[in-house]
């Protein structure tokens, strides 16, 4: 076994470990199951990569995102370490070849998605490997009570069956004590060492501000600091609108959401990472596995749905250790909106029965059938067809997935799946007899290997581009070949797929999980209340509030958050009287926003905001629909 410090120096160029890293690594090297809880930027990857390098054999890493796997594999390769990952949409032949490399190619790391663990070929190959460690990254995804629960993570259980003597490390940056306990149970960890570093980020200023003009506040800060920034919003539409507004103000910006193509995502990510774009406006589809140490600001212009998601997203600021800010900008409507989105639209048991029955009818699934059947799904069309509330239905589908009844997969890029059912010789003869289809068929053969052996994902748009034909022409040709028995075709006309995990049994299916549904609804209510408590509590340090949520009771005031700063600059009674007089004098002329009042007055903005709230409380001023203050 190699010396850990020497490995750290050779590959990472460091002579000292970050807090808790050495303890975690030593425990793993001693062969003990381990749970590692480290904050974002705390060096989680080193905690499994270094022990794997110290021992003979290969480490199998289960990771939730392709971007995360790609980033870590590329990073290892740059260090001269042999690592590979198995991407989606590859043929059986290519999958077999990659697994052979993992068995015989002297590789140190194999990265897999949790979905891959369900494949028998993958399981059989793992049993043949000299595995020295199983690493489960973002391990909170296995807990139904975790914010990022992912049903496929249940497949991680199979690893204990395949190689029961291999130690396992579970790593996460955001898990409450309850989620940690459930993670240990789900992964079947045996007497694990649970090692936790403080979640306190001393360089990160957590800011919460009531703000009518959010764009103005961000503009002022972004123009003062040219470091990178992320702005999190809730909808795709908002990403586009805010990005356009920032660009019009001279702040370079791009937007990122789940609906853009992989090519666009990669281009926009690179532009942002290289500093060509200062700001990325994004939904929560952006962030995990993205390592940009120069993020100075993370803004939330809408309230996060839980403290877990906020802690993860806020933690993407200041990973280089320099002073950075994570800022929530909210108004009264945001508090109404979060309740409307996550509390008022929680499905009851009867509502979930209606959604599930409609879903089964939509796909014409007979009673007692449908298990593991996959169907192309158009969400808006489905809601219109059955006259369902879109928000309630979305939350219902999410609940059905969490409860293990369906799996909802996004198929961005409209990939379809096909497999030739005839031999290559017979296919060539068929194409010779059908010259209008010949170019399309031969192009598919050149583009996709293994298409005779196993169902293969194909991109209709790419085939159309290569052949110079329209998408409609390609689809018609494929459907004709399917009708004539040449190929099996699963054509995705939409960007999502629903897979039914259990056979259809209507009310019986939902009745069996009704208690779990109630627990999920209660959990969501608790999460939303925690967020609302966090933004409204201006007496306790924001950093202390956050780490207490994750079970850390002894943290000290940070001195740099919005609460700590306001306590140092709270206006005295004399100042309140003076500022009140100035504000009332200005409002005698006309209604003004807080922004304009701040520009006209010489006092600090924080003191002006305090006085505005005071004047509202004593009913001397009110606020109109334009977010302007006027005399009562």
- The per-residue pLDDT for range 86-133, each reduced to its tens digit, is 876 677 888 899 999 999 999 999 999 888 888 889 999 999 999 999
Average pLDDT over residues 183-211: 93
Quick: pLDDT tens for 5-62.
Answer: 999 999 999 999 988 999 999 999 999 999 999 987 788 999 999 999 999 999 999 9
Q: Is residue 531 part of a domain?
A: no
Instruction: State the total domains in the chain.
Output: 5
In a domain, 532, yes or no: no
Q: How far apart are CA 111 and CA 84, in angstroms?
A: 6
pLDDT more than 90, % of the chain: 58
Which CATH number belongs to the domain containing residue 75 in this structure? Answer: 3.40.50.300
Pair 204, 325: CB distance under 8 Å: yes
Q: Are 171 and 255 members of one domain?
A: no
Instruction: Tell whether 420 and 384 lie within a shared domain.
Output: no
pLDDT for 226: 83
One-letter-per-residue 3-state SS of 370-427: CCCCEEECCHHHHHHHHCCCHHHHHHHHHHHHHCCCEEEEECCCCEEEEEECCCHHHH
Return the CATH number at 581: 1.10.10.10
Average pLDDT on 423-437 reads 91
Residue 288 has pLDDT above 70, yes or no: no
If asked whether residues 169 and 70 sit together in one domain, one would say yes
- Whether 530 maps to a domain, the answer reads no
Helix (H, G, I), strand (E, B) or coil at 345: coil
Q: Please report how many Cα atoms fall inside a 13 Å half-sphere around the Cα of residue 287, on the Cβ side.
A: 26
- What string of H, E and C letters represents the secondary structure of 196-214? ECCCCCCCEEEEEEECCCH
Considering the domain architecture, whether residues 465 and 586 belong to the same structural domain is answered as: no
Q: Residues 170, 231: one domain?
A: no
Q: 388 and 433 share a domain?
A: no
Question: Residue 412 — very low, low, confident or very high, per pLDDT cuts 50/70/90?
Answer: very low
Kindly give the pairing relationship between strand 456-459 and strand 415-420: antiparallel
> Do residue 119 and residue 215 come from a single domain?
no
Question: Are the CB atoms for 281 and 308 separated by under 8 Å?
Answer: no
Does residue 561 or residue 287 have the better pLDDT? 561
Averaged pLDDT for residues 525-545: 95
DSSP 592: B
Chosen domain end from 468, 490, 512: 490
Q: Is 529 inside a domain boundary?
A: no
User: What residue numbers bound the domain in which 619 lies?
Assistant: 569-631
Alpha helices by DSSP H, 274-348: 307-314, 332-342
- Does the pLDDT at position 606 exceed 80? no
What is this structure's pTM? 0.72
Is the pLDDT score of 364 beyond 90? yes
Q: Where a domain ends, among 134, 168, 196? A: 196
pLDDT digits (tens, 9 = 90+) for 211-263: 989 999 999 999 988 889 999 998 888 999 999 999 999 999 999 987 777 67
CA distance 268 to 251: 15
- Asked which of 550, 566, 582 is the last residue of a domain, the reply is 566
Q: Please indicate, yes or no, if residue 86 is contained in any of the structural domains.
A: yes
Rounded distance between C-alpha atoms, residue 510 and residue 383, angstroms: 20
Shared-domain flag, residues 293 and 272:
yes
Q: Indicate if 376 and 393 belong to the same structural domain.
A: yes
Q: How far is CA 234 from the centre of its chain?
A: 13
Q: Which residues pair with 59 in a beta bridge?
A: 109, 133
Cα end-to-end span (Å), the chain: 76
Q: What's the pLDDT band for 144 if we cut at 50, 70, 90?
A: confident
Looking at the structure, tell me whether residues 59 and 151 fall in a common domain.
yes
User: b/e map of 36-48 (b: 16 or more CB within 10 Å)?
Assistant: bbbbbbbbbbbbb
Residues 375 and 423 in one domain: no
Q: State what percent of residues in the chain have pLDDT above 70.
A: 96
159 and 84 belong to one structural domain = yes
How far is Cα 613 from Cα 621, in angstroms, rounded to an integer?
A: 9
Q: What is the CATH number of the domain that holds 485?
A: 1.10.10
- Confidence bin at 413 (pLDDT 50/70/90): very low
């Amino acid at each position: 076994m190699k010396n850990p410090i020497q490995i750290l120096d050779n590959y990472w160029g460091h002579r000292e470990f970050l807090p808790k890293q050495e303890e975690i690594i030593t425990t793993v090297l001693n062969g003990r199951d381990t749970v590692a809880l480290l904050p974002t930027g705390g060096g989680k990857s080193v905690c499994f990569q270094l022990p794997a390098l110290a021992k003979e054999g290969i480490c199998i890493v289960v990771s939730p995102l392709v971007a995360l796997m790609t980033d870590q594999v590329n990073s290892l390769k740059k260090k001269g370490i042999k690592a590979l990952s198995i991407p989606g949409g590859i043929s059986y032949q290519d999958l077999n070849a990659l697994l052979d490399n993992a068995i015989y190619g002297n590789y140190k790391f194999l990265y897999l998605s949790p979905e891959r663990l369900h494949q028998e070929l993958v399981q059989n190959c793992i049993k043949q490997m000299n595995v020295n460690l199983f690493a489960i990254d973002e391990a909170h995804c296995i807990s139904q009570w975790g914010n990022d629960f992912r049903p496929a993570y249940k497949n991680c259980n199979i690893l204990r069956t395949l190689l029961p003597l291999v130690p396992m490390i579970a790593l996460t940056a955001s898990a409450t004590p309850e989620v940690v306990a459930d993670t240990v149970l789900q992964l079947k960890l045996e007497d694990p060492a649970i090692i936790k570093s403080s979640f306190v980020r001393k360089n990160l200023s957590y800011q919460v501000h009531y703000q009518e003009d959010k764009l103005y506040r961000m503009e002022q800060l972004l123009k003062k600091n040219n470091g990178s920034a992320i702005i999190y919003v809730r909808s795709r539409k908002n990403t586009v609108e805010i990005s356009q507004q920032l660009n019009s103000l001279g702040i370079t910006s791009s937007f990122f959401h789940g609906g853009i193509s992989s090519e666009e995502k990669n281009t926009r990510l690179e532009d942002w990472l290289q500093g060509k774009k200062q700001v990325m406006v994004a939904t929560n589809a952006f962030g995990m596995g993205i390592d940009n140490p120069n993020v100075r600001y993370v803004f939330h212009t809408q309230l996060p749905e839980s403290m877990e998601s906020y802690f993860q997203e806020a933690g993407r600021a200041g990973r280089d250790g320099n002073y950075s800010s994570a800022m929530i900008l909210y108004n009264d409507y945001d508090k109404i909106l979060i309740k409307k989105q996550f509390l008022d639209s929680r499905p009851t048991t009867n509502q979930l029965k209606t959604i599930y029955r409609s879903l089964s009818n939509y796909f014409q699934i007979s009673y007692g059938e449908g298990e593991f059947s996959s169907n192309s799904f158009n969400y808006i069309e489905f809601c219109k067809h059955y006259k369902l509330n879109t928000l309630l239905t979305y939350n219902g589908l999410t609940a059905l997935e969490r409860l293990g009844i369906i799996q909802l997969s996004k198929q961005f890029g409209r990939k379809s799946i096909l497999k030739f059912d005839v031999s290559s010789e017979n296919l060539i003869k068929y194409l010779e007899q059908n010259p209008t289809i010949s170019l399309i068929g031969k192009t598919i053969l050149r583009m996709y290997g293994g298409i005779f052996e196993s169902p293969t994902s194909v991109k209709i748009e790419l085939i159309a581009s290569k052949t110079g034909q329209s998408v409609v022409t390609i689809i018609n040709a494929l459907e004709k070949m399917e009708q004539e028995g040449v190929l099996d075709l699963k054509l995705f006309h939409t960007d999502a797929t629903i897979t039914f995990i259990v056979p259809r049994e209507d009310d019986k299916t939902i009745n069996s999980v009704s208690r779990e549904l109630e627990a999920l609804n209660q959990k969501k209510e608790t999460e939303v209340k925690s967020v609302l408590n966090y933004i409204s509590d201006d007496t306790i340090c924001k950093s202390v509030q956050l780490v207490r949520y994750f079970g850390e009771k002894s943290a000290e005031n940070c001195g740099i958050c919005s609460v700590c700063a306001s306590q140092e600059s709270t206006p005295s009674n004399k100042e309140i009287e003076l500022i009140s007089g100035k504000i009332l004098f200005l409002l005698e002329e006309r209604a003004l926003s807080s922004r304009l009042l701040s520009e006209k007055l010489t006092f600090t903005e924080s003191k002006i905001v305090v006085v505005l709230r005071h004047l509202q409380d004593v009913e001397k001023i009110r606020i109109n629909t334009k977010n302007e203050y006027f005399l009562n």
